[in-house]
Structure 1
Amino acid sequence: MRSPAPAPHSCPTRSTALRREIMSSSLSFLMEAHDGLSARIVEEAGFRGIWASGLTTSAALGLRDSNEASWTQVLDQLEYMADATSLPILVDGDTGHGNFNNVRRFVRKLGERSLAGVCIEDKLFPKTNSFIGEGQALADIEEFCGRIKAGKDSQVNDDFVLVARVEALIAGLGMAEALRRAEAYHRAGADAILIHSKRADAGEILAFARAWGNRAPLVIVPTMYYATPTPVYREAGISTVIWANHLLRSAIVAMRETAAQIAEDESLIRVEGRVASVQEVFRLVGNAELEQAERRYLPARPSAAAVVIAASGGDLGVLTADRPKCMVDIRGRPLLGSLVNTLRESGVRDITVVRGYRKEAVRIDGVRMVDNDRHAETGELWSLACARDAIRGETVIAYGDVLFRRHILDGLLASEADIALAVDSLGAAPRTATTPRDLVAADRRFSGSYLDDAPAHLRRIAPDIASAELCGEWMGLLRVSARGAGWLREELAAMDAEGLIETADLPMLLTRLAARHPVRVLYFAGHWLDVDTLGDLAEARNLG
């Protein structure tokens, strides 16, 4: 009969959690993972344990399941997996990577890395995958029992689980030999028995379970007899089912389809909406935790605020009939939501949005709203003036219909200039435009070398810059320091006094500032988008 599950501990280990699964009277399931990312996906799916497959770990490294990956390489992968999840992990230990001496060292190292258990199989080192060939040679029973005893003697945690995998049915040695080996391994100290089969039906597995009589927990891997209904395993008294390799196999199909599509199209347009977003990758690998740690451990600096100008309606046909352009959907999120998300990822939390056209449709959680109720008769500068009280310390100012990669914003925030503009050096190249472009003339062009960090300063921004002085296109994104914010407010006041503030735009403001103060131009090469047309909207889905 099965041993009783251990009594609860005040601080249970992962080995304790795995032992409870294996010893439980109800059927348990372990899902395959082969690296840290897949381990995290298994946990999010709701499984209570992980099978660290030898086949898929090797295949993910581009190696065969024949001990081509050394045990130390395997251990490295396992450590990443243990760090990525709180679930208990049962390690596919192949043959134990050698004799009793290799087994005891391997088991000790697994325990030191919080791996919950190991399964070793009664084959010879180096192993061959069970589904390759016929009549594979098995280990001598007594020698394999020595490996089991060495593993149990070397575990660093009393609850560490050692599963002995019986390959007699795979090798064609028959039911009697399988039972004889299982009984010997159980007496040698194995906590559970894994009985393996490569038949397309579960007949011999169920026959083994009946003959075994629940003398110790029974673990199965129904890769070949996958059509067997799961209630059959419950009725047979099976302890644990291992879904052994399906995450890697599904990933291969998805990667192959994506690669073929991109190769055929020479474009990302047909795959971008079908794959996980970059933000989802960031979430899975724990970027949010790193940001929290940075706030705790790095020297504090005043965080920047942001003002986003989004009062105009835009013209995207029926899409902007009941909402402003900034609220048009980009892959399940409004354009403005994507912009706000980029700001937050760079640590900008205090965000003010100036809204106007269809203002009731402009809603983003955690964002302060300021209304320009004269949006139909005023311009950008009036909208900015509506939020002038939010421009006190370091502030990012952006149009509400632009998207940009985070490295552009991070570059602005890292600048020591009091006023810094993000300028696309590629904007100096001729292109067709249906709307006016904010072209830039500066005292110095981008040289084309990212090693060239000599400063460039703004001369003016206008839609009619001559090619002889054209240096790029302003992205609709700038940052001011606390001192720069003071200069900006002074210029707003001056333009108000001159009667210009109602109709002027930001390029005029920045050109006037450049005449009085240094306005730094930071050159970037693409990776941004001003959404003005339906074509821009389609492209935004690849950038948002």
Structure 2
Amino acid sequence: MSMKVVIPAAGQGTRLRPHTDSIPKCMVEVAGRPMLMRTLDTLNKAGLHDISVVTGYKQERIPGRGIKKYTNPNYETTNMVYSIFCAEQEFDDDLIICYGDILFTQDVIQKLIDSPAPLSVIVDRDWQRQWEMRMEDPLNDAETMKINAEGNITELGKKPKALTEIEGQYIGLVKISKEALPEVRRFYHGLDKKALYNGQPFEKMYVTDFVQLIIDNLMPAKAVWINGGWFEVDTVSDLELINERYNDIIA
């Protein structure tokens, strides 16, 4: 399959300490295997083999077999979008961006592969079930997701005031078509490096904020719906939960 994957995995995973004291977040084990290895298995089974991982923190602990490795030398002071663009030389084909701290089924990634839109974003309609398992107040951590009648995202990644502003949840899986990538690259490099983006400096811009900028300035983002079948491992309690319930949630 002619499609590439970039996995930003440069961060320090501070909320998973002490599990990340000596290894990067993506190498933390879930149900006996590092998250990254589980993700690579799922991607490979879906026919995705051209995979690049952007490393930073404890990068020597990420094995290089079956992947290309890029480095974000500024991982301590930057965020996901910066990391993704460290692998910019891979932006010459249909591109999937896949977070390094999520687990998902093959069905989930297949839906993204199959989406014909220039910009596609996986959205979990059944997000509340996971959020209620993970935290007392789902509104605390959830972000806005507003979708219009055409099925395109109009807003994402903001702090919600009410559940009605959350039609689903972004999970960290995005696809940009080969045809759209040159425009996206030009747009990124033309952004004001001194401006703030949803309150963050350019280097610390979140992917959701970059997608919002693309929606507002370049092209629509198609919501690709799923109903669960994934899990984010962000905290020690998340890790404990997925270790207990891996087969219910992912398998």
TM-score normalised according to structure 2 size: 0.85
3-state secondary structure, aligned to 2:203: coil
2:156 and 2:212 in contact (8 A); partners too: yes
The residue identity in structure 2 corresponding to 1:456 is: G
Task: Rate the CA distance shift 1:491–1:435 in 2: closer, same or farther, 3 A.
Answer: farther
1:213-246 CA distances to partner (integer Å, 9 max, x unpaired)? Answer: xxxxxxxxxxxxxxxxxxxxxxxxxxxxxxxxxx
> Which residue is 1:418 aligned to?
118
CA RMSD of aligned residues (A): 2.1
Greater CA drift, 414-423 or 462-471: 462-471
> Which residue is 2:188 aligned to?
492
Alpha-carbon distance in 2 for matches of 1:438, 1:494 = 27
Instruction: Establish whether residue 524 from structure 1 lines up as the match of residue 220 from structure 2.
Output: no
Instruction: Establish whether residue 355 from structure 1 lines up as the match of residue 55 from structure 2.
Output: yes
3-state secondary structure, aligned to 1:373: coil
The residue identity in structure 2 corresponding to 1:397 is: I
Instruction: Establish whether residue 312 from structure 1 lines up as the match of residue 11 from structure 2.
Output: yes
Q: What displacement does 1:363 show?
A: 1.7
Match of 1:502 among 198, 203, 214: 203
> Which residue is 2:33 aligned to?
333
> Which residue is 2:152 aligned to?
457
Alpha-carbon distance in 2 for matches of 1:435, 1:351 = 33
3-state secondary structure, aligned to 1:360: helix
3-state secondary structure, aligned to 2:239: helix
Count of residue pairs the alignment pairs up = 233
The residue identity in structure 2 corresponding to 1:417 is: A
Instruction: Establish whether residue 402 from structure 1 lines up as the match of residue 107 from structure 2.
Output: no
3-state secondary structure, aligned to 1:471: coil
Match of 1:538 among 230, 236, 240: 240
> Which residue is 1:513 aligned to?
214
Alpha-carbon distance in 2 for matches of 1:358, 1:475 = 25
Alpha-carbon distance in 1 for matches of 2:183, 2:32 = 39
The residue identity in structure 2 corresponding to 1:440 is: M
> Which residue is 2:198 aligned to?
none
1:440 and 1:472 in contact (8 A); partners too: yes
3-state secondary structure, aligned to 1:326: helix
1:427 and 1:471 in contact (8 A); partners too: no
Alpha-carbon distance in 1 for matches of 2:33, 2:183 = 35
Alpha-carbon distance in 1 for matches of 2:41, 2:95 = 16
The residue identity in structure 1 corresponding to 2:213 is: R
1:427 and 1:472 in contact (8 A); partners too: yes
Alpha-carbon distance in 2 for matches of 1:321, 1:358 = 9
Match of 2:127 among 417, 423, 427: 427
> What pairs with 1:26-425 in structure 2 (closer than 5 Å)?
302-314=1-13, 315-425=15-125
Identity %: 25
Structure 2, unpaired ranges of 5+: 196-200
1:343-367 CA distances to partner (integer Å, 9 max, x unpaired)? Answer: 1111111101011111111224111
Question: If each structure's strand is expressed as a fraction of its own residues, which one has the higher value?
Answer: 2
> Which residue is 1:63 aligned to?
none
Alpha-carbon distance in 1 for matches of 2:41, 2:2 = 16
3-state secondary structure, aligned to 2:167: strand
1:15-70 CA distances to partner (integer Å, 9 max, x unpaired)? Answer: xxxxxxxxxxxxxxxxxxxxxxxxxxxxxxxxxxxxxxxxxxxxxxxxxxxxxxxx
The residue identity in structure 2 corresponding to 1:506 is: V
The residue identity in structure 2 corresponding to 1:398 is: C
Task: Rate the CA distance shift 1:409–1:365 in 2: closer, same or farther, 3 A.
Answer: same
1:305 and 1:394 in contact (8 A); partners too: yes
Q: What displacement does 1:435 show?
A: 7.2
Task: Rate the CA distance shift 1:490–1:406 in 2: closer, same or farther, 3 A.
Answer: same
Q: What displacement does 1:331 show?
A: 2.8
1:306-328 CA distances to partner (integer Å, 9 max, x unpaired)? Answer: 00011111122221110111101
Task: Rate the CA distance shift 1:395–1:460 in 2: closer, same or farther, 3 A.
Answer: same
> Which residue is 2:169 aligned to?
473
Alpha-carbon distance in 2 for matches of 1:345, 1:435 = 35
1:403 and 1:540 in contact (8 A); partners too: no
Structure of greater relative contact order (alpha carbons < 8 Å, 6+ residues apart): 2
Task: Rate the CA distance shift 1:418–1:404 in 2: closer, same or farther, 3 A.
Answer: same
Question: If each structure's helix is expressed as a fraction of its own residues, which one has the higher value?
Answer: 1
Instruction: Establish whether residue 441 from structure 1 lines up as the match of residue 146 from structure 2.
Output: yes
Task: Rate the CA distance shift 1:418–1:309 in 2: closer, same or farther, 3 A.
Answer: same
1:442 and 1:469 in contact (8 A); partners too: no
1:89-114 CA distances to partner (integer Å, 9 max, x unpaired)? Answer: xxxxxxxxxxxxxxxxxxxxxxxxxx
